[in-house]
């Protein structure tokens, strides 16, 4: 009984101390912080920021391009050609503009948008400058014969070659080379892109997007130029143009061709061992008037093949074997 009273008194004492402590405690409410201002991605005018930049620094761009290398390669050659486009040799202005469009959301791409959003406008110029210094790519054009239709009898890439070089006057389609250059190297002034050596699937997809005629870009000037042309192209023509441009590349100039022709010939393969005498008796002797082993007689001291004339076309298309 004594212990019970002791526990009861101790409990009352603890309650009293707690009540006093609670009464002396005052809670000061925290001031409400100002709401964080959020902007939709589309409101980021990355193109306007580009106008405030200076020419890109390729050295800094090479450092930044380490992130791009996983997909596009550090030299701009796609690591997986079936998935990612080539960007080596592309103009600085064009690449920077596309990165700005990705960042603002005007060009939707779930892969590119997060990477572009991390770059400042000057970073975009620097990355563009780096890839602009890299070598262009070159692919293979499809030379399969067309079996039917308007272009029956032509090689598939020749349909694209015709449109690229001549356009189609009757349909009001200008020659692609008028803007993109005879070798597909583009025009860095108005930022017409490099198209030579690009994977055909990527070029075809872009032409199909232009043909659809819908865009989320705010400034549609560049888009409208391509949309008006692509709207008249058939699926076959888009495929052929894409194939032709994939195989399009700059040919070596006359001086380079002359240097190649002047290079020493490769050393001949070692002569085969003479056949045993009994083998010759069994009818394996060489035919009359021929040598048993082909040599290089008649080739030593021969003049190198003449270089192509300097007026030869500046472009070439690599065909499928």
- What confidence category does residue 301 fall into, taking pLDDT thresholds of 50, 70 and 90? very low
The per-residue pLDDT for 142 is 97
Are the beta carbons of 229 and 179 closer than 8 angstroms? no
**pLDDT band per the 50, 70, 90 thresholds, residue 20:** low
**106-134 average pLDDT score:** 97
What are the pLDDT digits (tens) for 258-276? 888 888 877 776 766 655 5
pLDDT at 286 over 70: no
The whole model's pTM is what?
Answer: 0.69
pLDDT band at 294 (very low <50, low <70, confident <90, very high): very low
In this structure, the strands spanning 248-250 and 315-317 are antiparallel
**Mean pLDDT computed over 280-305:** 44
* Domain 43-132 and domain 156-250 have a common topology: yes
Tokens 């070029």 sit at which residue?
203
Question: Residues with Cβ < 8 Å from 89, sequence gap 6 or more?
Answer: 76, 131, 132, 134, 135, 136, 137, 185, 194, 197
Residue spans of alpha helices (H) in 146-234: 156-166, 177-180, 200-212, 221-230
| pLDDT at site 312 | 43
17-21, 255-259, 275-279, range with greatest mean pLDDT: 255-259
Least confident of 10-24, 249-263, 306-320: 306-320
CATH topology of domain 156-250: Cytochrome Bc1 Complex; Chain D, domain 2 (1.10.760)
- How much is the pLDDT for 2? 57
CATH topology of domain 43-132: Cytochrome Bc1 Complex; Chain D, domain 2 (1.10.760)
Q: Could you tell me the pLDDT band of residue 43, with boundaries at 50, 70 and 90? A: low
Residue 123's pLDDT band (cuts 50, 70, 90) = very high
Q: Please tell me the distance from the alpha carbon of residue 79 to that of residue 275, in angstroms, as a whole number.
A: 50
Q: Is the pLDDT reported for residue 17 higher than 90?
A: no
Q: Where are the domains of the chain?
A: 43-132, 156-250
| Of 188 and 137, more confident | 137
The percentage of residues in the chain with a pLDDT greater than 70, rounded to a whole number, is 70
Residue 255 has pLDDT above 80, yes or no: yes
> Could you tell me which of 153, 163, 155, 211 has the C-alpha nearest to residue 184?
163
């Amino acid at each position: 009984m004594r212990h019970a009273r002791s526990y009861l008194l101790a409990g009352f004492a603890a309650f009293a101390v707690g009540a006093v402590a609670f009464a002396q405690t005052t809670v000061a409410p925290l001031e409400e912080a100002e709401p964080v201002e959020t902007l939709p991605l589309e409101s980021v005018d990355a193109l306007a920021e580009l106008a405030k930049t200076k020419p890109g620094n390729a050295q800094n761009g090479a450092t930044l391009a380490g992130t791009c290398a996983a997909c596009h390669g550090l030299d701009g050659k796609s690591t997986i050609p079936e998935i990612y486009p080539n960007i080596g040799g592309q103009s600085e202005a064009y690449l920077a503009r596309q990165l700005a469009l990705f960042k603002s959301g005007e060009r939707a791409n779930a892969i590119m948008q997060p990477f572009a959003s991390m770059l400042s406008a000057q970073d975009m110029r620097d990355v563009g400058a780096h890839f602009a210094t890299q070598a262009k790519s070159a692919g293979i054009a499809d030379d399969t014969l067309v079996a039917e239709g308007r272009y029956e009898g032509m090689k598939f890439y020749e349909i694209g070659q015709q449109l690229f070089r001549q356009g189609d006057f009757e349909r009001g389609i200008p020659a692609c080379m008028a803007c993109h250059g005879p070798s597909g190297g583009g025009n860095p002034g108005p930022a017409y892109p490099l198209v030579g050596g690009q994977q055909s699937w990527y070029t075809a997809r872009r032409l199909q997007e232009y043909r659809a005629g819908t865009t989320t870009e705010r400034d549609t000037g560049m888009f409208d130029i391509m949309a008006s042309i692509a709207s008249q192209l058939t699926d076959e023509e888009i495929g052929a143009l894409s194939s032709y441009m994939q195989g399009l590349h700059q040919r070596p100039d006359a001086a380079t061709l002359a240097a190649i022709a002047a290079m020493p010939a490769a050393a001949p393969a070692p002569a085969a061992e003479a056949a045993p005498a009994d083998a010759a008796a069994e009818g394996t002797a060489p035919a009359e008037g021929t040598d048993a082993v082909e040599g290089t007689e008649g080739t030593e001291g021969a003049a190198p093949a003449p270089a192509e004339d300097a007026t030869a076309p500046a472009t070439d298309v690599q065909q499928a074997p």
